[in-house]
Structure 1
Amino acid sequence: MPNVVIADASCLIVLSKIGELELLYLLYGQVYITPEIEREFGENLPSWISVETVQNKAYQKSIETVLDVGEASAIALAIEKRDSLVILDDLKARKFAKQLKLVLTGTLGVVSKAKERGYCDKIKPIIQKIEKSNFRISPQIMSDLLSRYGEE
């Protein structure tokens, strides 16, 4: 498991909205975000979320030419932190992170890992809550995830 987990705002917002933010704590213990992500999230942070500023602001600014500020800061922080996992949902940001050979997952990956580790009995109710929160999930991904756990 990576030493450092960095979350983008979308994961925090969605999990908070559906009352499942604690899944991040159960899985990873400590999660890092940047001040930019903290502003996007806009809620009080639990004690297990640490805010860390990217040191190489020039690098972050260069990423901001192609991605939004939160995603750019998450990726820049992941580059600075060795052995990190970055949680990104935006497809463009995910492709960018893959080009940099970063280890990544998304909100649904977090939910899937929570199921595998026994932190939730069923993922279908969580996925249904995520869908109601206006988070876009492709029908194919949802179907694949539910069938993986026998919850069609």
Structure 2
Amino acid sequence: MPEKVVSNTSPLISLFSINRFHLLQEFYPHIFITEAVWKELTDTEKEGVQFFHQEKEKGFLVINRVTPSPFLQLLHQELDEGEAEAIALAMEKKLDLLLLDEKEARSIARIYKIPVTGTVGILMRAKREGKIPSLRKELLALREAGFWIQDDLFHEALHSCKEK
């Protein structure tokens, strides 16, 4: 089980929005986030701000400052601040896993050999471990909440978990 996990904003908000944030707590002892991700989570009027503050107070969400570097500057040229900082933190701290949904950011992380999973991957793991009864139901809930899932990924995930 990966012990050192860093997350971008999207997986945290997405799982919160479908009442499945607890899966992260079941899989990982804590999640590292960057200052930019924290700002994205809390600098808003959206539902969940208080919840994320509570998770920080409990020590589940752990904020880490990323050291400014040429690598981080390079990432900022291609990605938004949260994605760039999450990748930089994963490299800097040699973390075990990066939670990231955005396709371009995932491609860049893979170039640097950073193990990546995203919201769909977390839900697939939950299905395989019997923590959720239906992957399809969760993926549809994500779509209903405004989370974009390509049709190919939707069907691949279902097939991988032996659902139709």
Contact 2:3–2:28 (8 Å) recurs in 1 = no
Question: Does 133-142 or 85-94 show the bigger shift?
Answer: 133-142
Aligned equivalents of 1:37 and 1:104: distance in 2?
A: 17
* Percent sequence identity over aligned pairs: 30
Deviations 1:86-110 (A, max 9, x none): 0111111011101111111111011
Deviation at 1:83, TM superposition (A): 4.1
2:147 matched to 1:145? no
Which residue number corresponds to residue 24 of structure 2? 24
Work out whether residues 26 and 119 of structure 1, in 8 Å CA contact, stay in contact via their aligned partners in 2. no
1:56-75 pair list within 5 angstroms: 56-75=68-87
Structure-2-length-normalised TM-score: 0.86
Q: Please say if residues 7 and 33 of structure 1, whose CA atoms lie closer than 8 Å, have aligned partners that are also in contact.
A: yes
1:69, 1:34 → 2: CA distance?
Answer: 10
Contact 2:4 2:31 in 1 (8 A): yes
Q: 3-state DSSP class of the match of 1:98?
A: helix
Unaligned runs of 5+ in 1: none
* TM-score calculated relative to the size of structure 1: 0.92
Letter in 1 for 2:11: C
Tell me the distance in 1 between the aligned counterparts of 2:104 and 2:160. Answer: 26
Q: Which has the higher helix share?
A: 2
Q: Give the residue type in structure 1 aligned to 2:26.
A: L
Greater alpha carbon shift after TM alignment, 92-101 vs 134-143: 134-143
How large is the Cα RMSD of the aligned pairs? 1.5
- Counterpart amino acid of 1:84? D
1:30-66 per-position Cα deviation (integer Å, ceiling 9, x unaligned): 1110110011112232121111111244432331111
Counterpart AA for 2:13: I
Instruction: Report how far residue 28 of structure 1 moved.
Output: 1.2
2:134 aligned to which of 122, 127, 130: 122
Is the alpha carbon distance of 1:83 and 1:37 closer, same or farther for their aligned partners in structure 2, counting shifts above 3 Å?
closer
Q: Is the 8 A contact 2:2 2:28 kept in 1?
A: no
Query: How far, CA to CA, are the matches of 1:21 and 1:56 in structure 2?
Result: 30
